Amino acid sequence: MSETLLAVIADIGSICSIIGLLLTLGVLFSVRHITRHFVFKARVPQLLKAVGKHAKDLNSLLVNAKVFSDNRNQVHVVLSESEITIAHLLPRLQKDIRKRTKLTGKGIRKIKRQINTASHSDIYEIYSALRALESDLKNEIENSNWSYNHA
């Protein structure tokens, strides 16, 4: 064979390698997107229920000011459980809701550090943030259902 034919075959091989690399990257990103979607669909509804339970538990402790004063340890436990649930949620969320969820987690950590001096209104802010997170998650689940059913 001539040297020009070998050079053309080598060039074609290089081009095919580049195309193969691009296809591999495309498949990698597609699989990552599909995996995230199904992990979200499988796990987030359970975590949504947990967030709702934590908010409900906080609310029951907030109803009566005396109960709140006497049960700061129980409030701390509910806040700790909420913090763990948020930690499990973060990797499964889209960027915009992840940012709001991180802020809720920071607020919970701040109140936990100051549990002995935290006021009724401080805990109520966390309760409100958990309810807002619950609403965000419900909307995300609905959006996820809609986008894949109507795509």
The domain limits of the chain are 43-149
* pLDDT, block means (10 residues), the chain with 151 residues: 84 93 93 76 85 92 73 89 92 84 93 88 92 91 65 46
| Answer CATH for 43-149 from 3.40.50, 3.90.700, 1.20.120, 1.10.3470 | 1.20.120
> What pLDDT, on the 0 to 100 scale, is given for residue 129?
94
> What pLDDT, on the 0 to 100 scale, is given for residue 94?
79
> What pLDDT, on the 0 to 100 scale, is given for residue 147?
55
> What pLDDT, on the 0 to 100 scale, is given for residue 4?
87
CA distances from 61 to 56, 76, 111 (A): 9, 11, 15
Calpha distance 33→87 (Å, rounded): 21
